[in-house]
Structure 1
Amino acid sequence: MTSQHEFLDRGDGIRLAYASLSGTGPTVVFIHGFMSDMEGGKALALEASCQARGQAFLRLDCSGHGKSEGKFTDGTISRWRDDVLALLDAVTDGPLVLVGSSMGGWLALLAAQARPERVKGLVLLAAAPDFTDWGMYADFSPEQKAALERDGQVAIPSEYGPDPYIYTKALIDDGANNRLLTGPIRFDGPVRLLQGQQDPDVPWEIALKISEKLTTPNVRLHLVKDGDHRLSRPEDLDLLCAVVGELTATLTTASR
């Protein structure tokens, strides 16, 4: 049985949707990707795994995604990071393990830097820090760049659904202010990176760069040779749950 949705007013009248399970710490938190939500296979598989072992768990929708309120086109990396922090502060206690998928990996890294006293471990799947640079604007055609400057946004067809992805100038400009791969990524805890080598959206070399930039020596990279961007096949979900379970067990043992 999945957890029930609840809502938190982030302070400006926009309500953020989330679902949580009580249990032992550290609390595992799943952060979704760009134009995704907390109802995907990875979030639900992780919730079931945590529930089976009595682990506290939180999944959430950033504003403009899923069941959360707000306009998607008002969103930026800073805004979505602050959505994550608002929920961490309001509905969780104690140590945390953040699990971020794609853009959620970027948000998880930013949240870990904002709450270093609470975030004890990270599991990042096809993490995409700085994707507004290397995975977005750099690939725009001259016509798309002109539309972005003229209209403040541009629509790009998506292979993940019938609706195009809407990229705003505000999102790209704000992304530049949140770059992580240009310097050291300060984090002291264990980090596990899961990356498909057949990912058409996030080159697997990005995972190597994240590992290089992280200041912690405790980094393990799981390359899935035939894995795509979603990493949502049964075997991928089994790997995710096993990695998260191992990491939380290690942290629990170390805290005793």
Structure 2
Amino acid sequence: MSGRHDLTDAEWAVIAPLLPNKPRGVARVDDRRVISGIFYILRTGTPWRDLPERYGPRTTVYNRYNRWAKSGVWLCIFEALAERSPGSLHLIDSSIVRAHQHAAGRKKGGEDHAIGLSRGGLTTKIHAVVDGRGLPVRLLLTPGQASDKTTAPELVAPLGLTGDVVGDRGYFGQAVIAAIEASGATAHIPSQSNVRVVRSVDRDLYRQRNRIERFFNRLKHFRGIATRYFKTATNFLAALHLASTRIWIRTNESTT
């Protein structure tokens, strides 16, 4: 018996070829059932211990998710889809999510888990680049109080963007504009009110920013993302990549 959050045949047809090869002689527990269980957790925000029995042992599902998050499997699946993005228009923005007390209750020291203190309490900020269809091509995490302007060069530099890149006033700064234009893209970022040289942006082009806002809205339909329950940044970023993978597949499916 399948649930409404489970992988569809179309989704499985895209994801299955991108999974790691099984070691010779080792039978891996049914991948489709396990990944459907992971999507159930992400979509509903249910604790791992309450995973329905139809997905198999919860320890198997969690361990697969955790192991593949650390080894970059979920990232590779997302990047395989993001590579198909056209390069004529990209939009950058960020969105803050609240960190649940279980996520915030980590040990001090060690890895930076991208949880900080902002006006919303303990929060994480999701930074994204989306293409002209509102589909994500790169995601980063920082503590909630982090500046968009400071994070933007790291967000856009690896992409080698071309065409037009649109951001709001929070991204105005020479370092951001230089990072965007280093590969030949054109930055469309309006200046803040306290500068001498005013940068304006074509009104119709600036309106395209609603596409990245819609992406964040779709992302937060996943309750396990709208509120952060994952303790480590690695596992939470993996959740973003998996949710974005589903957004990619379902958008492409609806337009073909």
TM-score, with normalisation over the residues of structure 2?
Answer: 0.30
Bigger strand share: 1
If you compute each CA radius of gyration, which structure gives the higher value, 1 or 2?
Answer: 2
Bigger helix share: 2
TM-score, with normalisation over the residues of structure 1?
Answer: 0.30
> Which structure has the higher relative contact order (CA within 8 Å, separation 6+)?
2
